Structures are given as structure tokens and as C-alpha cells.
Structure 1
Amino acid sequence: MSSEKPSNQSATGTILDNGPFYHGTRADLQVGDLLTAGFRSNYRPEIIMNHIYFTALVNGAGLAAALAKGDGRERVYIVEPTGSFENDPNVTDKKFPGNPTRSYRSTAPLKIVGEVTDWDRLTPEALKTWRDNLAKLNADPKAVIIN
């Protein structure tokens, strides 16, 4: 791996977030492990994802961990991109103006550099609402994930 710092510029040259960055999951991983693309979407399991997603908001990563598939406990990892990254078009300019969720994606791996254990967890009622809304979205044939 190159010792060069990955680019935090979009294709248009806009400077993206400087972090810190977080990734929410139920996977039990260690510092130094790499998170990579190529796995099934948590939101559309028929889709194999071309990117690995992350955010600069710890509670956003906590939400992703709560919604992640699997039986493991919710985990939020502190991550460093190993390559260039872009705004996540599923929640930014292509669907919403700007990047209010400070969400990003990369085709390059994310390196785990730590774990956060304190974030605002969803109540069971709020989690049910999120899951119900995702189920409605998944039932809509017009709804797409920009992969």
C-alpha cells in the first residue's frame, strides 16, 4: 500500500470531509482490518455493493450498525480511507442537496483504526420505524440504490 495520503477531493475538485470517519456494522473486527466493497447491501440484499460506505457522523454509523444484517452486536469503527472517496450519491446531490449526512463511499478499502462504544442508540420504537420505512422503500420498484 502506498504511503501517500488518500485524496479527499471529489471528481469536481470539491474538498470533502477531513474526518474522523466511522463505519457501522455487526461484524466483529480488529484494528488494522480492512473493510472492502463486494458484499450484499444491508438495504437491498440482491445487490452486491461496488463501494464501502462511511460517514463523519458517529450517530450515522450507529444507525447503520443498528440496521445492519447479522446477529452480532452493533459496532461503530473509526476508519481511515486508503484511497480516494466521494459523496454518497444515495443521500447527497443526486437525491438531496449537499451532504447533510456527511456520508461517503469508496472503492478502496477502509482501514479500521479504532472502535467507538458510545453513541446515541435507537430506541426499539425508532428502530422499528426505520425498518418499516426501509421495507416500504424496498417494495417500491422505482426506488434504486446508486451503486
Structure 2
Amino acid sequence: MRRSKVREHIFKMLFSIGFDAADADEQIELYLEQVEEASEEERGYMRKKVKDIAAHEEEIDAMINEHTTGWKTGRMNKVDLSVLRLAVYEMKWDDEVPVKVAINEAVELAKNFSGDEGPAFVNGVLGKLA
């Protein structure tokens, strides 16, 4: 499976648990059961990354809040917030993903899943963080 597709699945899991983090582990496992095209290695990678992002959520949100004006994480739509959390994690903690790739992939996710202003918003926040 292509990394961009893996990243899309991670984004979808983050989006889902953004509504009810209490059942995060169960939601992750239920989601991964549905991803038939993923190998066990890919499922393990996705599971680990989602859990790592959740573990760093407060720190990630603080970084996002430092670089936004009028749109703190509590007011952001869940799509943009999930995209930003994934990208910030990749930029700051995932040495396998170059910063430019993390930003570009985040903008692509925003183009596919957010509203008209989402891609520019995501790009602007991540550009300030880079």
C-alpha cells in the first residue's frame, strides 16, 4: 500500500477518535479490521502512529495553537485538526518523513476531505511551524 494511502487511513482514525477518545483502542482495532488491503506490518504501523499521535496530542495542539490566530484547536473543524495533528507529528517526531512531504501530504488530505479554505489554512499553519 502506498504511504499516502496509509496516511489517509491514519487521518481517518484520528478523525474518528476525535469525537470519542474514550474508546480509541476499540475504534482503532475496528477500523483496522476493515482495511483489507493492508498487510499486518502496515496495520501495525498505522496502529502505532495513531497511538503515538494521541500520546503527543497536548504538545501537538499547543504547537498548533501557537501558530494560529483566532482558530485555536477547540474551535477548528475536526477534519483540519486531524490533518494538522498528523502533519505536526510527522514534522516533529517522525524522522522517516521529510518536512516538505508532511506538509504536501497534509494539504492533499485537506483538498480531499476539508472545505474550500481547508488546504490554504493547513498549508499556512504548517508553513509557520516548519
Work out whether the TM-score is over 0.5: no
Larger Rg: 1
For CA contacts below 8 A with separation 6 or more, give which structure has more relative contact order: 1
Give the alignment's TM-score, normalised by structure 2: 0.29
Give the alignment's TM-score, normalised by structure 1: 0.27
Return the structure number with greater helix share: 2
